[in-house]
A and B are shown apart, each in its own frame.
Chain A
């Protein structure tokens, strides 16, 4: 119970910072909408809906990257990171809190972007939406760990896409598959499997990447 209370407090802190500063979410929203406009020109007449679904997944991953690149910036800039690590809570709770907060931003951005996608390009059914949600969980779970690693280094914004893109390949397969395949259940299973494996790995290894000695 204590753990959940810690996670809730940490998530609340991130959401409140975002509500006040509005650094991340407006940028993600504008980015994903601009990308949809770019897609209109990237998809010549007759390319079909499947190509649009593929591009949608590029947009989702890039939007997530944008949000994740900013995930630890407030902590880094104001020295909150050290205080968080010193706080009397399990370190993995910091990771869970950040994952939930970035997930909330990503879902909020998609709440606008996906209806816009349906309006502009192609319909999305319930299975495709389930695919989006499952992939969101995976990319935020792994991404907040990778972003914490990258945050300690030089050129952190440059580093994160390099670390995360090879890792997100199965998510893109699962996401595109759940939108275009005739048997989408298998892809949802793949996404769930990915979420399970990598969430546990990230949860277990977070402590190692944030402690100094």
Chain B
């Protein structure tokens, strides 16, 4: 059992840095980046929404990678890491769906549209990883649960390209795409604001991941101590 303090070494300063970067990102996206000629103020949600969506994908990917490591090398720590990564992925995924709905309402006039492939793919993947928790919490704790969860997490990665292909094909008989997000190119300042936001959100997700991991491990240690005392 490692000391709890060694686990959080560097974490408070990293969290402070993430908060600072997040502040800078908000400053850049709301006050420095020029207003989009086409969409006006509502375009500014782009600097939040897209980094959050990318981070959600990244978290799911990280969860699947840790799941692969678990199956490949074994080791309990990968199970917890995979779970925490997917948990963060669903949190950022919910935020993506909420911010996406707000943006869609502001610029397309509807809260949801089936016209955009990215939305449908994201929703499918989001539901898939929500079911991950149902699976995990229904199985008794142990190596079998760890491996079942890992296998399920890995299936998500295989689902992404196949679903994407399926959704592209489905356009044929559902209805064709009527609008895309490819607007005018971003200017330099806009791109900078976007990159800073992306870095800030990714760092925030990483800090949250570490914090949750420390909490979960502490909880396990505490339970082991309690069992040892009984």
Contact = CB atoms under 8 A, between A and B. Distances in A.
Q: Which of A156, A159, A208, A210 has the most CB atoms of chain B within a 10 A radius of its CB? A: A208
Interface residues of B, number: 33
A181 B165 contact: no
Contact of A169 (B131, B148, B151, B166): B166
Interface string A200-213: 01000100111111
Interface in B167-186: 167, 169-170, 172-173
Contacts, number: 105
Nearest to A161: B131
A140 interface: no
B139 interface: yes
A142 B159 CA distance: 12
B152 A163 contact: yes
Interface residues of A, number: 41
Secondary structure of the B contact surface, majority rule = helix
A152 B140 contact: yes
Contact of A212 (B128, B144, B155, B166): B144
Given A167-B155, A167-B159, A180-B173, A162 B131 contact: yes
B169 A169 contact: no
Given A166-B159, A176-B173, A208-B150, A154 B165 contact: no
Nearest to B121: A169
Contacts of B163: 169-170
Given A149-B151, A152-B139, A208-B151, A201 B158 contact: yes
Interface of A: 50, 142, 145-146, 149-150, 152-156, 159, 162-163, 165-167, 169-170, 173-174, 176-177, 180-181, 183, 186-187, 190, 193-194, 197-198, 201, 205, 208-213
Interface of B: 71, 124-125, 127-128, 131, 134-135, 138-140, 142-145, 147-148, 150-152, 154-155, 158-159, 162-163, 165-167, 169-170, 172-173
30 contacts: A50-B173, A142-B155, A149-B151, A152-B139, A152-B145, A153-B138, A155-B138, A159-B131, A159-B134, A159-B138, A163-B131, A163-B135, A166-B124, A166-B127, A166-B131, A167-B159, A170-B166, A173-B167, A176-B170, A180-B173, A190-B162, A190-B165, A193-B165, A201-B155, A205-B71, A205-B151, A208-B147, A208-B148, A208-B150, A212-B143
Query: What 3 pairs across the A-B complex have the smallest Cβ distances?
Result: A153-B138, A170-B166, A166-B128
